[in-house]
Every structure is written in C-alpha cells, then in structure tokens.
Structure 1
Amino acid sequence: MDGALWIQQKLVPTMVAHGSFGKGSKQLVETTKCNVVYKAAGDDHFTSTILFINLELTFENQEPEVHSLLVKVSPEHPIYRKYVDTDALFHNERLMYMEFIPLVEEFLRNRQVDLLRELFAKCYYAESCAAYVDRSDIIVLEDMVPRGFTTSAERLVLDYEHCAVALRQLARYHALSYGMKNLEPSRFHAMVRKIRANNSVNSSSEYAKYFWKPTSYRAVKYLEGRQEMDQVTLDRLKDRLEDAGQLLMDLLAPKEPLAVLCHGDFCRNNILFRYVSGKPCDAIFFDFQTVKYASPAIDLSFFMYLNTSSELRSQHWDDLFGEYHATLIGTLAHILGCSVEELLQDYGLEAFQKEFVDHGFYGYMICSFFLPQMLADRKDRIDHAILFEKTLDEVGSVYAGYGGESASRHLADILKHLALLGAL
C-alpha cells in the first residue's frame, strides 16, 4: 500500500476516531485532498522516514478542513531499526508529545502562564501502528512551514542572531523542568522515569569500545601530533577516553538541583526558525527521540560546539551563555511567581557555568562523530543504509577518519575551548 492510500484508508480514519481533528461526534464524510511528499531518511535525520501531507477533510454538516501534517514513521528495514534502536527513540518522542507536553500544559494553565505554544509543534497523533509496510511507530505533527517556520539556510555554523534565538527558546524549555520540580516534583519525576535509554549509551556495550573511543580520540591525536596542547592535558584526556562509554554515562548522569529534561539532540537540524525582514525572531523545536534527564549542559554543549564557529565562540561565548541564563531565570521567575533575585542562590549564572565545565565534554564526544558528517560535501556523505550492515568496529573506523583533516581541526578547536574553560 503506497503512502497516500495508506493515509486515506488507514491513518485518517484512525486519527478521526482518536479525536485528532477535534473531539465529539465529528463524522468523516470523505478525504477530498491528500497530497503526499515523501522524504526518505537522509543526511540530517536518519532515524525516521518523513511524509509531508496536505490534507483536506470533509466532516458531516461542516465546512472542509485543511491540515498540513508531518508524519514520521520508523525506517522500513528491520535490521536498521534495530541498529538505531527505533523502539526507544519513538517511545521517547511519543512520551514527550502525549504525556510530558500535556502535563506541562496543565501545569502552566493552572498557574495562568502562557508559554507552551511558543515551543512545540502541535501533535495530532502518536502511537504504535503496524499498518504501514511493516513499520511499527508513527508520530503525526503539524507541519510548521505554512506558519512561517523553516530550517536555517546555513546547515552547520549559525550566526549570533540564530544562536541567541535558539538558546532563549532552549532556556524556556529547561525552565519548565525547574518549575515542575519546584512545585510538582512527584508528577515530574514519575514521567521522567518512563524515558528509555538508547542502546548506544551503555558503558558495557560494544559502542563504548568500537565507536565512542575511536571517534572521540581523533582530535586528541591530532593535537598531540602538532604539539598544540600541553602533554599533561593530552595524557589526561587519553586516560579519560580509555573507557569512553563509562565517561559518556558519567556525563549523562543527572545531578541535582540543575538536572533538566534535555531535548537530547539539540542542534540546528532540529530547530525551525521564523524570520521577520530576514532576521530570526522565533524558533520551534522538534525531534524529541533522544530526550533525557541530565545536565542542561548536555543540550548547551552539543549546540554551542556543533553550530558555532571557533571565532564566534571566541567573541561571543559569554554573551550567548548570558542570553540563555537571563531567559531561563526570567522564565522560571514568571512560572513560580517570584522575583529573579529570589532564584539567584540556586540558579545563578555561576552555577550554570560550573555545570558546563563539569559536563561540557559531552558536546565534544557527540560532535566527534556528528560534526564530520555535517562538514562533508553531499556527494561524500556516509550512506547509512550501507553502513548499518557493517560491524561496530568497521563503523567506528569509518567515523574516526571521516571528514579528514578539516574535521579533525574543527574537533581540535572544541578541545581547545574546553581547555580554556578549565573543562579538561
């Protein structure tokens, strides 16, 4: 069954019965329009297959309704689904849209705070669904493009304005966790306990030996070969990376009071910007498949090391960090109904700076395999459909050399910045 036929005959009736297009006694008469644009798993998103849908529905005794939807389904190949652990990924995204966001929406409504609509796309439906060509998971979201949201033109390095808009929105998102932890901790932590860890985040798995160690080691070797960092620091790094899997788990371990529900994959690829006169003014997040309860530095370090240049970091690091912190503490004060000054003891700038020093190496580790992919020309990018059939040892070797000297230089710049912060 092709995509359009499946949508008309299977998905739409299921969503109507579910109440996705409005609760009550709405009776679907017909699907008068169903235009489908298929986007295969690709360079920026390789854990899902994407369908963009323009849908027109006619309900009994009502005017036709038009909906622009983005449908995510798990990849078709069963071995590939196992390789990227789509069971955990789609479980987490469904948890976000069907439980966490409604929970926070109720929490904010009770406190008469209007914040949630600024952060997330509307979710129409999220469920396990085996009806579509052996695929078992589905997420249906509002397509935000008709509302003026789009990805940035620049694929990797963002300018100050884009970074500031993204970090202010991230701060608002993180503030939700602090607000709930303060006022409804039991409900918040009950939801957090439902998150599933991805297979790759396991110190005893083969990922640790054959993937994380070789990918994160390459910039250390690069710096050592060029004598661009003191040997004491380099030796310390090598010692830490001997058990890269455990190091990754240690960095992800939540520590109170600053642990938050992280986006988990916070980068340009998962942010849609809205523009006024060519300048970014708003942003929406999507792709919550790797959501995790951890340090806010998990989100901050990945974004600020993947999507900024070394020049921007040199000139505006404190400014961008300040944008994040000022928005976070202001939003939290609004949620809690208190002054910013009352929050400074627990949520002061220095506390978040220390948090970054303690956990910022996480951003380097993730960048060590992802940044080279983003740097590569389209014709040279890894074909994941072929790569997943290889052993992890072979995969790690491919990633450890991918992008050549240019990738190694970019990763080395990240280590230099971490050293400057005292994070190595």
Structure 2
Amino acid sequence: MATASGIVIPQSAEDIAPSWVQQVLQKDLPGVTITDVHVEGSISQGEGITSDIIAFDAVGIRNGVSQRYSLVAKVTDFKRPLTVMKEWSKDVQIQIDIAEVKFYSDVVPELLSLATPSTERKTGNEETHASTDSLVIPKCYFAATDPRSMVSVRVMENLKTQGFSIKPNRQSQSRDEMMLAAGALAQLHGLSYRLELRSGVPLPERKRDWIRSLSDVIAGTMEILGPMYREAVKKFAAAFPGQTSPDLIARLEKLNIQHPMMEENPRLMVLSHGDPYGNNIMFKYAEDVLTDVRLVDWQAVSYLPPTYDLAFLFLCNASWDVFHHHRDAILAHYHHKLMETLGTDESSGLQSYTLEQLKADFKEDCPFGVFHCLVRFGGLHADRGLVRIIQEIKEWGVI
C-alpha cells in the first residue's frame, strides 16, 4: 500500500527497485534518473534491533552526470525481535518505529533550517546553504509508514561507506570520542530549544504526541525495565564479589530515578536522543584521527532535561578514567557547544544555564544513567571501573 506521498513502503529487499528509489530521491535530488540498483543486503548491527537495515547502491544520471548513491533502507521487521527487550509487544515496536519516522520527516527539516550553513567543499561564488553536513543526524531522504501494515521505512545515507562505524566489541569511548558525542548532543539540545523560541510553543504541544515526555519516560522505564533492573543489580553484585558493599547494593535496589525536587522546581527541557548508547553513536576516523560523529537510531526521542542524555552517555559509554579524570572537561565542552548553538538570543532561558548548574544537574540525573547502565550490564564492556564509577556517584548522595 502506498503512503500519502504515493510511494509504496517496501516489505523486503526485493521491493527496492530503480523506479522506487527514483521516487524516494526526487524531493532532494530533482531530475535524478535511477537506472540500476545493487542491493548488498542486511547490515544490521548491535543489540535491540527492531528493523532490518538493507544497504544498496543506486546508479543513475542527474544534470547529465553519472551518479552513484550509497544508501540504506531501514524497514520494520516484525520477525526480528529485540534482543534486549524480548518481552516488548508488536505495538511497542510499531510505536517506536513511527516515532523515528516522524522525527526524520517532521523535526529534522526544522532543525536543519536553524543549523549553521555548511561551507565545506564550497569554492568560488557558490552559494552556501544549510545541509546535513551541519547536523550530527544522518541524511534521510524519505521516511514514512504504511497505515495498513504499519511497516515503516527510512531511506538514509549509508554512513558505513563514508567511514563511520560504531565502537567494536562494546569498547568504552575515549576522552576524545566522548567529547565529540557530547558536542553532538549539545547541538541537538540547542537547536531544539531554538525551535521552541521561534514558535513560542513547547515541542510536545505542537501536535507531536509521539515525543515521549519526562513522565512517560519515568513510568515506562520503571514499569517495563524495572524487573530487568532488579535482576541486573543481582548480576552486578555477583560479578564483583568483595568489591560491592552491601550498602551500595541496597541503595541500588531502592534506586529512584524520579526526583521529587523536579515537581517543585521545573527544569529546562529539550528534545533528547533518549538512548545515546554506544551502538547508537557512529564515529569517523581519518588515519587514526577522530574527525566526525553521527547520532543514529532515533526511536526513543524524548522531551527531557538535557542532562538525562549526558548521564546516559557517561554511564553507558565511559571508562573509569574518562568518567573520573575527564568528566569536567567533557561537560565544559558540552556547555560551550550548547551556548555556541544557541547563539546570542538574549530571550533564551538556556543562555543563563551556567556550567556549574549543568554539573549539578548532571550529578542529580546520574541515577537515570546508572539504571540504564545496569539494565545493559550484560551487554557492556564492564570491568571494575564500573564499580568505581557507581561508588563515586554514591558518594555524591544521589543514590
């Protein structure tokens, strides 16, 4: 069945034909003619996958010049169950896939309209303009859902062919990688806040009922992940005998990720990635030099305090050395990039968001990161450093 755009949603790799790809690319590449498509097949990586990611190359002509486009089609696959959350229903899978479709189709164009124009690879008198080079989000050519089958598709640039990759074997991120990932989150948070300033209406109220609120995230986390978390705490204690005190384990068992103070003192809220786990962050290197980053898998997009993403990022990706010795520098870099993204608009409430307040909020929100870290404990590159990180957070008095 075709979507509102008249473009059919593919059910499998066999449906990715030249005529279909040409339809998909026409909006961003008017006049393109696709003559052939070479389907590589599934390249899905990581854990918790709900979609089949099919890589393909499209060959054609545009403006009289031969072109080759390396793309991926991310298609809902109801036969591909989550490996982390096996108990999630089909309805949940539909919900999170639709959220990503709406993020790419509704929000990204608005973020792009506010992004700094890209001047890379521009010469002479060529006109500069905003492009996805200026965003840390993959370029998406088409995102839609078949209203009958509820199968979704997102056609995006193939980041792997551009040299991007996730960290292998669940490795922790280095200081420089954490810097780049934190800066990427700062861009997302800052641009989303500018969108609110421009419209004067909070994002969730702009007919975006698919964006999860703070209360949705808290309730869903405790209800769906609660049993997994309690089991994970037991596994964590068993994995480090003699290194985790009874007091620490008792505190973890009673962990509360909702702070009563938030109800009394509302926090600044921004559009958040919601799941900045290592498998959702792709880095690019040039001769062993870190050069770029992309945030992928936008199925958990949420409206949260900015430090929720940061707490998740640190707890699920940082080693003890990075967390303990470089945390302040990474948070300072995030704050700098946030202010840079916001610009000089004096009406912005985030302009008065100081680095010290950011650090304080980060510490308060670390229980959220601890919770998700332990839920993923079996899938993390865990060593004694994780114990030291959680012990340090315990000393802050927030767990």
TM-score when normalising by structure 1? 0.74
CA distance in 2, matches of 1:339, 1:135: 41
SS at match of 2:275: coil
1:153 CA drift (Å): 4.9
Q: Percent identity?
A: 21
1:305 CA drift (Å): 1.4
Q: Which runs of 5+ in 1 are unaligned?
A: 241-246, 376-405
CA spacing shift, 1:422–1:324, aligned 2, 3 Å? farther
Q: Which amino acid aligns with 1:100?
A: V
* Residue number among 354, 360, 375 corresponding to 2:366 in the alignment: 360
1:154 CA drift (Å): 6.3
CA distance in 2, matches of 1:57, 1:130: 31
1:155 CA drift (Å): 3.4
Mapped contact 1:367–1:411 kept (Cα < 8 A):
no
Mapped pair 1:194 → 2:209: yes
> RMSD in angstroms over aligned alpha carbons?
3.8
CA spacing shift, 1:215–1:83, aligned 2, 3 Å? farther
1:250 CA drift (Å): 6.0
* Residue number among 47, 71, 83 corresponding to 2:73 in the alignment: 71
CA spacing shift, 1:55–1:236, aligned 2, 3 Å? same
Q: What does residue 124 of structure 1 align with?
A: 141
CA distance in 2, matches of 1:164, 1:87: 33
Mapped contact 1:268–1:307 kept (Cα < 8 A):
yes
CA distance in 2, matches of 1:322, 1:27: 45
1:137 CA drift (Å): 1.0
TM-score when normalising by structure 2? 0.78
1:214 CA drift (Å): 2.4
Mapped pair 1:181 → 2:190: no
CA distance in 2, matches of 1:302, 1:214: 20
CA distance in 2, matches of 1:189, 1:306: 27
Q: Deviations over 1:275-328 (max 9, x none)?
A: 233111221211111110112222111211121111222221212222212221
* Residue number among 154, 157, 166 corresponding to 1:151 in the alignment: 166
CA spacing shift, 1:100–1:155, aligned 2, 3 Å? same
SS at match of 2:170: coil
CA spacing shift, 1:3–1:77, aligned 2, 3 Å? closer
Q: Greater helix share, 1 or 2?
A: 1
Mapped contact 2:38–2:57 kept (Cα < 8 A):
yes
CA spacing shift, 1:361–1:205, aligned 2, 3 Å? closer
Mapped pair 1:372 → 2:378: yes
CA distance in 2, matches of 1:7, 1:248: 44
CA distance in 2, matches of 1:8, 1:166: 36
CA spacing shift, 1:76–1:306, aligned 2, 3 Å? same
CA distance in 2, matches of 1:202, 1:95: 22
Mapped pair 1:418 → 2:379: no
Mapped contact 1:259–1:295 kept (Cα < 8 A):
yes
Q: Deviations over 1:309-353 (max 9, x none)?
A: 112222212122222122212322x2x44699x966x31012111
Q: Which amino acid aligns with 1:167?
A: A
* Residue number among 143, 151, 168 corresponding to 1:136 in the alignment: 151
Mapped contact 1:122–1:142 kept (Cα < 8 A):
yes
Q: What does residue 57 of structure 2 align with?
A: 54
CA distance in 2, matches of 1:277, 1:338: 42
Alignment of 1:103-252 (within 5 A): 103-108=110-115, 117-129=134-146, 136-153=151-168, 155-186=170-201, 188-191=203-206, 193-197=208-212, 202=219, 207=224, 210-216=227-233, 218-219=235-236, 226=242, 228-229=244-245, 231=247, 235-240=250-255, 247-248=256-257
* Residue number among 290, 307, 314 corresponding to 2:300 in the alignment: 290
SS at match of 2:393: helix
CA distance in 2, matches of 1:115, 1:417: 42
* Residue number among 8, 28, 39 corresponding to 1:36 in the alignment: 39
Mapped contact 1:260–1:294 kept (Cα < 8 A):
yes
Mapped pair 1:327 → 2:337: yes
Mapped pair 1:275 → 2:285: yes
1:62 CA drift (Å): 4.1
Q: Deviations over 1:358-404 (max 9, x none)?
A: 211111111112232233xxxxxxxxxxxxxxxxxxxxxxxxxxxxx
CA distance in 2, matches of 1:113, 1:7: 31
Mapped contact 1:97–1:126 kept (Cα < 8 A):
yes
Mapped contact 1:121–1:285 kept (Cα < 8 A):
yes
1:236 CA drift (Å): 4.3
